[in-house]
Structures are given as structure tokens and as C-alpha cells.
Structure 1
Amino acid sequence: MPARTGAQFLHGLRDSRAVWIGADRVTDPLDHPDLRGAAEAIAAVFDLHHQHPDDCLMPDPETGEPIAVSHMIPRSRDDLLRRHKALRRVAEFSVGLMGRTPDYMNVTYAGFAGRADEWGINGNDEGAANLIAFQKELARADLSLTHTLIHATVDKSKGHVPTGFDDTQLHKVEDTAHGILVRGARVLATLAPFADELAVYPSQPMPDASHRHALSFCIRMDTPGLKFLCRDSVARPVNRFDYPFSSRFDEQDAFVIFDSVEVPRHRVFIDGNLPVYNSVMSASWRGNAMHQTMIRAWTKLEFAWGLATRMAEAIGASDPVTQEMLGEIWSYAELTRTAVMAGEQGSYEYGNGCWFLDQRPLNALRATLPYWFPRVNEIIRLIGSHNVLCTPTAAQFADPQLRPLIDKYLRGARDITAEQRARIFRLGWDFAGTALASRNEQYERFYLTSGTRNRQGAQLRAERAVADALVDRFLRAAE
């Protein structure tokens, strides 16, 4: 099956899934006002592939049918640069506000399949073969995949991962005639209402956990016993003038409950194999998956700089303080761009014929972006000041009595009309100040874990040879 269209994607969401938002159980997101806008936005991403086939589509290596480039298993630096174009196209669609567009998981599972040798250690040959087969299905059926990685927080004093056996955490109950039975909970399934399948795989090692928690698999969203509890919606009615982002980019987040769920045997990738679970994410995942995450971050920062600059120009704010704040956002965007380029140019074969990026600049970004994004929102709100709260609605512009007054008293500097000014500042508020903006800031603070933990991890993983040699030279001289 070739790459799907948006209409085919939306048709695929009509099933018997158990997704709750508020008091409503939703089986088709198009039927719910809080989900319709984002469902249509994800559908537009599928259509985007067909609108830009040279950048976004490629022939399946085995069937020749067109599939999304994000499913590519990179075999060279040129492959990575080609994938860059496709990832950038998708990131630009939502200016990075949707962090879990399907290309994220496409890239992740392409990397897993490419390094199936990492999954096949310690006698896990069957699990590795199942993973390879699933990745082909993911690409050829053009599925929308989400994941749930984090162990549910019950008592943080016990740590972030299970110690021993904990029946509240996702665990294997027993083998069945057709697979395995699992129970427990996990977080956080972003994109859950708009996914065809759910993936479970390791987020971090759990050396002291029971082997019953060492699981990885993929299952359909409508699998019996699988339940998704969505957070409060931050979506607004479909109105591109009043809510340019909130009307379509609330990708949702859900708490996942596995209430006696049977996973088919051919969809199980890790079944109680702790050595595989504890090692499989340590070698190549960052150099592959962060290609998508950092292109998205760069796109979002570049947009934020452009938006903040337009806001300042709309009210004639050219004072040194404003220019300094604009330059600060620019520096974040430029550093992110150069880190992505450095990662690509420093790419190399990781093994098994797979080429991924140099992780070092991406690890630095991963440890820094959780601090940059909140600061960017702060700058946009500082530049916007009270002006972000003085933006007439589309209905007010359409009122024949109000329109002349709005045009006179709420125009911008120089030749900026009142409507142009309102559009600019509504963009700014929806990006940095609304409920959607607050959710997105929280998301960026803990995206790929917190900045604090990423800094700790970066220090532990950093290569010290060069730095130690520089220090040692002067220590020896002192002796």
C-alpha cells in the first residue's frame, strides 16, 4: 500500500478505541469538537507528502511503492540530508508546535529496524525479527504511531523506574495461546486520539526491576482492554483568525491503562528480557531520533524569532532592550541550526550499515532547549506587553459599527493596519500565552526528559579525552 492521503488517514481512525476526553468516550475524533481540528491537521500532514513528493516520498526498497521518507533507514550522509528535507517540510507545517507528528515515530522505528542487531542480543532473535517485520508494516501501511514510555508516577521516593515487581506498572501477567497478557499503566501517549497504533519500548534502564516489566511491543489502538484518559483539551473552535494555533494544533496527551490487554506474539519485541531492555536505547537511538526532534526545535525557534520581530515592528518597538531580546531568540535558533548541521556533517556508520548523526551537538541541545523555550515565550510576552490583550476578534472586525473605530484606534506603526496588527498579536498570544501555549511550554520543559536530567546525562556520557589532555598538560607543567 502506498503512502496514505489525509482522507485515508481519517477513515482509519474510525474504530472501537476507548479514548476518553472529559466525560466523553470518543471513537472518531472528527465527531468531537475538541479533537476535530488536530485530526484534520494530522490529515494535512499526510496530504503534505503528496504535495511535495520529491522531498517527502521515496520508493519502498522492496516493493517500489511510494512511502514517506521518514521511514528511510539511512545508509549514508546523503540519505540523512534527504531525510532532513522531509522532516523540515513537516516541521514547517505546524511551525514545530506539534511535537508528535507521525514522522517522529517513523524515524524512531526506522532506526530500531536498522539496528535490529541491538535488539537481537541475549537470545532475543524472535523479538528482533518481529520488530523488523513491524517496521515494514508501519511504512507500507503508512500508520500513525504514538508511544507510551514513562512508568506511571505513584511514589517518586521509590525512583523513576520499578524496583522489584510493582503491579501498578505495566507488566506481563502470563503467556496466552496467541501472545502475552499485560496489565498496568504508562504515560504519556501524546497523539493518542490520532494514532492507529501504540508503541511500548524502553525509556531508560531499570536494573533492579522484575523481568516482568521488561516489555516492548506495538498494538492497535482499538485493542480490547486498552484505555486512554486524555488531559483537559486546550483546543479552541475552528477559527483561523482568532485562534490560529489553538484551533488545530492541540495534539493531546493521554494516560494509558492496560486493563488485561493481549498482545499478539508477532508484535512482541521484548518479552521479559532485561539485558535487552536495559541496553537497547543506549547506543544509537539519540543519533537517529534526535534528527527529527532537533529539526522541529530549530523550525519552532526560527518561527518564534520571526514572529517576535514582526510584533516589535508592528508597534515600532526599536529600542535597545527589544533588539537585545530579539537577538537572544535569533541566537537560540542559529545555535540549533548549526548543531543540526554539525550532527549531519559529523554523521557516521553506527553499525549494521546504518548512518546516524553525531550525537554530541544534539545532546547539548537536548540539555539546553528545556530552558530556551520558556525564555522565548517570556520574551514574546514581554515584547507583546498589553498589546497581546488588545486584539479584536474576527467578529468585531466584521461589525460595521465597530470596524471604523478599530481601524482608527488599533492600527499599528507606519502603514500597519488594524487587521494586520491584530493578526500578528493573535499569533503571538496563541504561541506564548494561551492554554495551548502553556501546554506546549510544559511539553518542551520535559520533552525527552527534563533539562536537569539531560545535563546530568550529558556529563556522564561526554568524551573527556581532549579536555583531560588540556588540563593534564598544565598540571604536569606545574609539577
Structure 2
Amino acid sequence: MGARSGKDYLDGLTDDREVWLGGERIKDVANDPRTAGAATTLARLYDLHFDHPEKLLRLDPVSGEQVPVTHLIPRSAADLATRHDALACIAERTLGLMGRSPDYVNVTLAGFAGRPDVWGRDGNEEGTANLVAYQREAMLNDWALTHAIVNPTVDRSQPETAAGGGDIVVHKVADTSRGILVRGARALATLAPFADEMFVYPGYPLAEGDEKYAVIFAIPMSTPGLRLLCRDSYSSPCPADQPLSSRFDEQDAVVIFDDVEVPRERVFLDGNVDLYNRVMQRSGWTPNIMQQTTIRAVTKLQFAWELATRMAAAVNNSSPATTEMLGEIWTYLELTRSALLAAEAGAHEWGSGTWLPAEPPFAALRPTLPRWFPRVNEIIKVLGSHSLLATPAWSELDNAELRPLIDLYYQGANGLPAKDRIALFRLAWDFVGSSFGGRAELYERFYLGSSGRFLTLAQKMAARSSTFPLLGSVLEATER
């Protein structure tokens, strides 16, 4: 089949998937007003492939089909550069506001399939073959994939697998004639209502004896027994008043596996705790996926800096404090961009002929970005002040009685028309203050994992690889 159009994508959402929102089951994800905005945006991302085929498509030499570059298994630094351009094109279309656009799991799956040397250890040859075949199937069908890797939080004083008598975390219940039966829940599956398939892979390590939880697999969203319980919709039906939440509410869902049968060919790991704990780190998942997520972060930070700078100009605010805060956002942007360039410049072969960026720049960035994004939001709130709350709805501009008053009292500095100032500050409020903006900040805080945990891991990685040459030279001189 190859790359799909937006219409193909929307048609694929019409199936028996069980999506619950606000206490009712959504019958038509593509057209329900609570989900239609994001569905339309995702369809436009699919159409984007045909608008920019030179960046987003490549010819698969085996099938002869045009397929998305984001499915590419990088085999050289040039391949990583090609993927960079494709990821940047997608991120620009979403302003970096959709953290789980389909390219995210495309990149993850391609990275896994490119490392059979890791996945095929300890007798997992069949699971590895299944994984490689599935990645190719996902590429040729151009599926939108979501993932579910976080376990529900029940009682932090005990292991997650012990919660609810051991029944809450996703686990294998039995073998069947066709595959395995799984039960339990995962959270948080972003993009789940809009995906074609769900990929379940490790989020946190398991303990010895947790064999039944050591399962990695993929299934269609319409699989019987798979239930999605969505959070409140933050989508707005009015693009003029809420230009971001009307387009980019990618949704988040708790996923319940109510005795779901997974076909044997969709099972990639079954019962091997040691390998389950190793595949994420040993396969190079962090440097692989951080290329995608850092490109998105650069785009979002660029947008935030442009927005904040225009907000300050709208009221002619050039005070030293304001200029300092704008410079702070720009600094975060350039440091993120520099880490990305450094990681890509250090790209090398990781195993099985797969090339990935260097890990240290991303290991430093991973615990840092979650702290920068909330600070950026804080700066925009400070700059916007009461003006974020003092902007009329667009419908009021259409009122003949109110319009002259609005044009007078809502104008900006240097002749900025009221309608332009209103558009700017409504955009800013949607970015940092609306339900959509609040969810986005929470997402940025936690989607890369715990900052504290990854600062600890960064130090351990650095200490393992360092011979302490500078310190050693001083100590040797002192001993003499």
C-alpha cells in the first residue's frame, strides 16, 4: 500500500474500537466534536507526505512503494540527516505541540527492528523475527501507532506489579491456540483514540519472578477486549478563540486489556525478564527517540520565543526584565538545538548496521527539558499578565455596537489594531493557560521520565565512561 492520504487515514478510524469519553462510547472518532479537531490535524499530516515527498517519502526497494521516511532504519549519518529533515517538517506543521504524532512510534519501532542483535538474545529469535516483520508491515501500511508503557499508580510503597494482588499491571494470563491472553491496564496512551495500532513495550524494569509481566506485543485498536478510557476533551470547536486546542488535542487514555488475545506473530517477547529489562537501554532507544523529541522541542521553543517576543512588542515592553526573560527562552532554544547538533554530529554505528546519534548530549538534555518548558510557560504568563484574561471572544468583534469600543480599548502599541492584539493574546492564553495549555505543561514535565532519575543515570553513565584525566594529572603532580 505505501504512504496513505489523509482520507485513507480517516477511513481507517471507522472500526469497532472501544473509546470512552465523558461516560459515553464515541462512535465516530473522526467526526465527534470532541475529537474531530485532532483527527483532522493528523489527516493533514498524512497529506503532508504528498505535499513534500522529497522530504517525507522514500522508495522502498523491495515493494516498490513510496513509504514515509520516519519508518527508516538509519544505516548511516546521511540517513539520520534525511530523517532529521522529515521530522522537522512534521514538527513545524504541529508547532511542536503534538508529542505523539505518528512519527514518534515510527522512529521507536524502526530503532528496535534495527537491533536484532539485542532483541534476539536468550532464545528470543522468534520474537525478534516477529518484531522485524511487524515493523515492515507497519511501514507498508503506514499505520498510526500509539504506545502504552506506564503502569497505573496504585501504591508507591510496594512494587507496581504487586498492586491489586498482581492483577493491575498488564500480564500474560494464558497461552491460547493462536497466541497469548493478556489482562491489566497501562497508562498513559497518548494519541490512542486516533491510532491504528497499539505497541506495548517496557517502561520500567521488572524484578526477578515477574515473568508473566514481561510481555511485549502489538495489536490493532479494534481488538476485542481493548478499552480506552480517555481524559476530558480539551478540544475547542472554535479555532478563532482557541487556535491551538481546536487542532492539537491529541488525547490521553488509560488502556484496559480485558482478556485480550494477542496473535503469536504479534508477540515480540514472552516471559524473559532479563531481556525485557535490557532492550530499551541496549538497543539505543534513548538516542534514537531523542532525535525526534528534540526536533519537536526545538520547534516548540522557537514558537514560544516568537510568541513571547511579539507579546512584548504588542505593548511596547522593552524593559530590562522583559528583555532578560525573552533572552532566557532564546537560550533554552539554542541550547536544545546545540545538543541536537552535537548528538547528530557524533552519530555512529550501534550494532547490526544501525546508526544512531551519540547519547551523552541527549542524556544531558533528557532531564533538563522537563524543567525548561514550565519555566517558558511561566515567562509567558508574566509577560501577558492581566492581558491574558482581558481579551474578548471573536464573536464580540462581529457585534456592530461593541466593535468601535473594542477597536479603541483593545488596541496595542505603535498602531497595532485591536484584532491583531486580541489574536496574539488569545493564542498565548491557549498556549499556557487553557485546559489544553495546562495539559501540555504537565506532559512536558513527565513524558521523558523523572528528571531526578535521569540526572542520576546521567551521572552514572558519565562516571563509568570517564578516566578522570584532568583530576588524575593534578593528583599525580601532587604525589611527586
Give the structure-2-normalised TM-score: 0.97
1:295 counterpart residue number = 295
> Secondary structure, in 3 states, of the residue corresponding to 1:183?
strand
Distance 1:467 1:93 in 2: 44
Distance 2:393 2:269 in 1: 53
2:366 counterpart residue number = 366
> Secondary structure, in 3 states, of the residue corresponding to 2:216?
strand
Distance 2:149 2:241 in 1: 35
What is the one-letter code of the residue matched to 1:187?
A: A
1:269 counterpart residue number = 268
1:410 counterpart residue number = 410
What is the one-letter code of the residue matched to 1:180?
A: I
Asked if 1 retains the 8 angstrom alpha-carbon contact of 2:154 and 2:160, the reply is no
> Secondary structure, in 3 states, of the residue corresponding to 2:235?
coil
What is the one-letter code of the residue matched to 2:250?
A: E
1:19 counterpart residue number = 19
The question of 1:343 aligning with 2:346 is answered no
Asked if 1 retains the 8 angstrom alpha-carbon contact of 2:230 and 2:252, the reply is yes
What is the one-letter code of the residue matched to 1:127?
A: G
Greater alpha carbon shift after TM alignment, 378-387 vs 149-158: 149-158
> Secondary structure, in 3 states, of the residue corresponding to 2:257?
strand
What is the one-letter code of the residue matched to 1:290?
A: M
Distance 1:184 1:35 in 2: 26
Asked if 1 retains the 8 angstrom alpha-carbon contact of 2:147 and 2:198, the reply is yes
Question: Where does the alignment leave 5 or more consecutive residues of structure 1 unmatched?
Answer: none
Asked if 2 retains the 8 angstrom alpha-carbon contact of 1:165 and 1:209, the reply is no
What is the one-letter code of the residue matched to 1:74?
A: P
Asked if 2 retains the 8 angstrom alpha-carbon contact of 1:162 and 1:208, the reply is no
CA gap of 1:420–1:108, structure 2 versus 1, over 3 A, is same
Runs of 4+ in 1 over 4 A off after TM superposition: 160-165, 463-467
CA gap of 1:256–1:172, structure 2 versus 1, over 3 A, is same
The question of 1:278 aligning with 2:277 is answered yes
Give the structure-1-normalised TM-score: 0.97
RMSD of aligned residue pairs (Cα, Å): 1.5
Aligned pairs for 1:1-400 within 5 A: 1-160=1-160, 166-237=166-237, 239-283=238-282, 284-400=284-400
Aligned pairs for 1:425-440 within 5 A: 425-440=425-440
CA gap of 1:140–1:122, structure 2 versus 1, over 3 A, is same
CA gap of 1:204–1:437, structure 2 versus 1, over 3 A, is same
Kindly tell me the number of residue pairs found equivalent between the two proteins.
478
Asked if 2 retains the 8 angstrom alpha-carbon contact of 1:163 and 1:210, the reply is no
Identity of aligned residues (%): 54
Distance 1:164 1:250 in 2: 32
> Secondary structure, in 3 states, of the residue corresponding to 2:251?
coil
1:460 counterpart residue number = 460
Question: Where does the alignment leave 5 or more consecutive residues of structure 2 unmatched?
Answer: none
Asked if 2 retains the 8 angstrom alpha-carbon contact of 1:225 and 1:261, the reply is yes
> Secondary structure, in 3 states, of the residue corresponding to 2:269?
strand
Distance 1:452 1:162 in 2: 24
Distance 1:350 1:66 in 2: 27
Asked if 2 retains the 8 angstrom alpha-carbon contact of 1:165 and 1:212, the reply is no
> Secondary structure, in 3 states, of the residue corresponding to 1:188?
strand
Greater alpha carbon shift after TM alignment, 158-167 vs 198-207: 158-167
> Secondary structure, in 3 states, of the residue corresponding to 2:262?
strand
Distance 1:362 1:372 in 2: 15
What is the one-letter code of the residue matched to 1:351?
A: G
> Secondary structure, in 3 states, of the residue corresponding to 1:62?
coil
Asked if 1 retains the 8 angstrom alpha-carbon contact of 2:187 and 2:254, the reply is yes
Distance 2:416 2:359 in 1: 45
Distance 1:423 1:212 in 2: 53
Distance 1:432 1:160 in 2: 33
Deviation at 1:161, TM superposition (A): 5.6
Deviation at 1:200, TM superposition (A): 0.5
Asked if 1 retains the 8 angstrom alpha-carbon contact of 2:178 and 2:263, the reply is yes
Asked if 2 retains the 8 angstrom alpha-carbon contact of 1:163 and 1:209, the reply is no
Distance 1:204 1:395 in 2: 49
Asked if 1 retains the 8 angstrom alpha-carbon contact of 2:249 and 2:436, the reply is yes
Distance 1:242 1:76 in 2: 45
1:426-465 Cα distance to aligned partner (Å, 9 max, x none): 1111111111010010001001212112212211222555
